[in-house]
Amino acid sequence: MNIKLTMDKVLEIEAHGLSVTKSAYLLGVHPTTLLKYTVRENIHWRGKKAFTKAGEVNPESYRQQIKNQGVTLSAVNSQMYRNNLKFDDAVAKVVCLKKQRQYLTKSQSDFIVENYKKMGCKAVAEHFGIPVSRVKCRYNYVIYVQRKKEALSK
């Protein structure tokens, strides 16, 4: 690694917008050598910066993109694995699935419990415009929680 750095070589590589580490690899020198050379020659590095300070993050990193979208890494990874998707497509699908998910309010849950046996499962599902399986699941969950509270109070 006894390669002499010249201003022409460094400026040519710097124009590509690469990080210091990748540019040093292409020049065949150690990244610290290139960094010291740029400081010594007063070269403003326009490429990707290193995020080494505490609290600084790379806004283009996968982890930061996932965090900004409000989804979990495991959800994105599972979509990538199951559906053989690229990262961006998997994030878009998880965000879409998250928007489609319907949460039931307390009053809706109470209505389901009160009218499940009177009206029937299909009628309650049609009343809310949600799938029958969602009504069954909510009813079973509420009954389970009630029984668990009763068992704990005894």
Question: Same structural domain for residues 43 and 67?
Answer: no
Of 42-46, 62-66, 93-97, 148-152, the poorest mean pLDDT is in 42-46
Task: From residue 29, give the alpha-carbon distance in Å to each of 23, 50, 137.
Answer: 9, 18, 62
- How many domains are there within the chain? 3
Q: Answer whether residue 117 is part of any domain.
A: yes
Q: Answer whether residue 96 is part of any domain.
A: yes
Question: Same structural domain for residues 43 and 75?
Answer: no
- What are 78-100's pLDDT values in tens digits? 999 999 999 999 999 999 888 87
* 6: Cα separation from own chain's centroid: 42
Question: Same structural domain for residues 111 and 140?
Answer: yes
Domain containing 35 equals 1-50
Q: Answer whether residue 87 is part of any domain.
A: yes
Taking all residues of the chain, what is their mean pLDDT, rounded to a whole number?
Answer: 85
* 87: Cα separation from own chain's centroid: 10
What's the average model confidence in pLDDT over 19-40? 86
What's the average model confidence in pLDDT over 121-135? 89
Q: Answer whether residue 55 is part of any domain.
A: no
pLDDT of residue 2: 56
Question: Same structural domain for residues 88 and 111?
Answer: no
Structure letter (DSSP) for residue 3: P
* Residue 56 confidence (pLDDT) above 70: yes
pLDDT of residue 91: 92
pLDDT of residue 82: 93
Task: Output Rg (C-alpha) for the chain, integer angstroms.
Answer: 28
